[in-house]
Copies of this chain bind each other. A is one copy, B any other.
Amino acid sequence: LCIVNTKISAILLDNMTTKTQPGLAKAQLTADVVMFTIEDNTLEVLLVKRAHEPYKDQWALPGGFLWNGEATKQTAERILCDKAGVEGMYIEQLYTFDSPGRDPRGQIVSVAYFALVARESLKINLSAKTQHPTLFPVASLPQLAFDHQHIISYAHRRLQAKIQYTNAVYSLLPPAFTFNQLQSVYETILGRSLDRRNFRKKFMSLGLIRPTGQKLTGICFPATDRTQPLVLS
* Residues of chain A whose beta carbon lies under 8 Å from any beta carbon of chain B: 1-2, 5-6, 9-10, 12-13, 15-17, 19, 23-29, 51-53, 64-73, 78-79, 81-82, 85, 87, 93, 95-96, 98-100, 105, 107, 109, 111, 125, 127, 129-131
Contacts and interface: CB of A to CB of B under 8 A. Distances in A.
A64 B98 contact: no
A111 B96 contact: yes
Contact of A107 (B10, B15, B68): B68
A25 B93 contact: no
Contacts of A93: 95-96
B64 A16 contact: yes
Task: List the number of copies, as a whole number.
Answer: 2
15 contacts: A2-B81, A6-B127, A9-B64, A9-B79, A13-B131, A19-B65, A23-B68, A24-B66, A24-B68, A25-B65, A26-B68, A29-B109, A72-B96, A98-B111, A109-B111
Which residue among A23, A28, A29, A111 has the maximum number of chain B CB atoms within 10 Å of its CB?
A29
A126 to B, nearest CB: 12
A79 B15 CA distance: 14
Given A6-B129, A24-B66, 16 more contacts: A5-B81, A6-B82, A13-B131, A17-B53, A23-B68, A25-B66, A25-B67, A25-B70, A27-B29, A27-B66, A68-B107, A69-B107, A71-B99, A72-B96, A72-B98, A109-B111
A201 to B, nearest CB: 24
A73 B95 CA distance: 13
A106 to B, nearest CB: 9
A82 to B, nearest CB: 4
Nearest to A100: B69
Nearest to A131: B13
A76 to B, nearest CB: 11
Nearest to A1: B87
